Amino acid sequence: MKSKNYFSIKTSKINFVCFFVAIASFNCVFAVNMTPLRLQLQRASNPTTIFTEVIVAHNANATDGLDVTSDIVQFGSNSTLPNLYLLIPPSSSKYVINSLAPFTNDKKVKLGIVIPSIGGNHYFVANDITAYTGTSIVNLVDSGTTPVTITNLRTTPSITYNFAANAVFNNRFYLLLSPPAIAINPCASGNSILIRSTSMHPVSYVVSDSVTNNVIASSTNFIGSTSINNLTVGTYKVEFTNIENASDVQYVSISGSTNFAATISTPSLLVDINNPTANFVGNATGANANATYTWNFGGSNNATGTSINYTFPGLGNYVATLTVTNDSVCSASTSVNIQVVNFNEIEDADNSNIKIYADDTDIIIVVPQYLIKASVSITNLLGQKQYSKSYSNIIGKQKIDTQNFKTGIYVVNFTTGTKMISKKIIIEK
Q: Which residue has the higher pLDDT, 199 or 249?
A: 249
Q: What is the pLDDT of residue 111?
A: 82
Q: What is the mean pLDDT of residues 288-297?
A: 88
Strands 26-32 and 107-114, by their bridges, are unpaired
Residue 97 · residue 65 · CB < 8 Å: yes
174 pLDDT exceeds 70? yes
Confidence of residue 293 (pLDDT cuts 50, 70, 90): very high
Q: What is the pLDDT of residue 33?
A: 32
8 pLDDT exceeds 70? no
The predicted-structure confidence for 242-283, as pLDDT tens digits, reads as follows: 877 777 888 888 876 666 789 999 988 878 889 999 999 999
Cα separation, 364 vs 412, in Å, equals: 10
Q: What is the pLDDT of residue 20?
A: 27
Cα separation, 108 vs 96, in Å, equals: 12
162 pLDDT exceeds 50? yes
Confidence of residue 219 (pLDDT cuts 50, 70, 90): very high
Question: Residue 170, by phi and psi: left (phi above 0), alpha (psi -120 to 50) or beta?
Answer: alpha
Torsion of CA 193, 198, 199, 200, to 10 degrees: 120
Q: What is the pLDDT of residue 7?
A: 25
Q: What is the pLDDT of residue 131?
A: 54
Q: Is the peptide bond before 147 cis (omega within 30 degrees of 0)?
A: yes
Percent of the chain whose predicted confidence (pLDDT) is above 90 = 21
Q: What is the mean pLDDT of residues 391-399?
A: 84
Mean pLDDT rounded to a whole number for the chain: 74
Confidence of residue 236 (pLDDT cuts 50, 70, 90): very high
Cα separation, 329 vs 286, in Å, equals: 13
Q: In what order do the strands lie in the sheet with 26-32?
A: 4-10, 14-21, 26-32
The yes or no reply on domain 347-427 and CATH 2.60.40.3080 is yes
Instruction: Flag the least confident range among 22-36, 292-306, 373-387.
Output: 22-36
Confidence of residue 352 (pLDDT cuts 50, 70, 90): low
Q: What is the pLDDT of residue 412?
A: 93
Confidence of residue 372 (pLDDT cuts 50, 70, 90): confident
Cα separation, 102 vs 318, in Å, equals: 42
The predicted-structure confidence for 296-342, as pLDDT tens digits, reads as follows: 998 888 999 999 999 999 988 899 999 998 776 678 899 999 988 77
Each domain of the chain, given as residue ranges in start order, spans 4-176, 181-254, 261-343, 347-427
The yes or no reply on domain 261-343 and CATH 2.60.40.10 is yes
Q: Which CATH architecture has domain 181-254?
A: Sandwich (2.60)
CB neighbour burial string for 361-388, b if at least 16 within 10 angstroms, e if fewer: eebbbebeebbbebebbbbeeeeeebbe
Q: Which residue has the higher pLDDT, 60 or 196?
A: 196
Question: Across 18-27, 101-110, 310-319, which has the greatest mean pLDDT?
Answer: 310-319
74 pLDDT exceeds 80? no
Domains 181-254 and 261-343 alike in fold: yes
SS3 labels along the chain: CCCEEEEEEECCCEEEEEEEECCCCEEEEEEECCCCEEEEEEECCCCCCCCEEEEECCCCCCCCCEECCCCCCCCCCCCCCCEEEEECCCCCCEECCCCCCCCCCCEEEEEEEECCCCCEEEEEEEECHHHCCCCCEEEEEECCCCCCEEEECCCCCEEEEEECCCCEEEEEEEEEEECCEEEECCCCCCCCEEEEECCCCCEEEEEEECCCCCEEEEEEEECEEEEECCCCCEEEEEEEECCCCCEEEEEEEECCCCCCEEEEECCCCEEECCCCEEEEEEEEECCCCCCEEEEECCCCCEEECCEEEEECCCCEEEEEEEEEEECCCEEEEEEEEEEEECHHHHCCCCCCCCEEEECCCEEEEEEEEEEEEEEEEEEECCCCEEEEEEEEEEEEEEEEECCCCCCEEEEEEEEECCEEEEEEEEECC
Specify which residues 219 forms β-bridges with.
205
Cα separation, 234 vs 257, in Å, equals: 12
Please count the CA atoms within 13 angstroms of the CA of 6 that sit on its side-chain side.
20
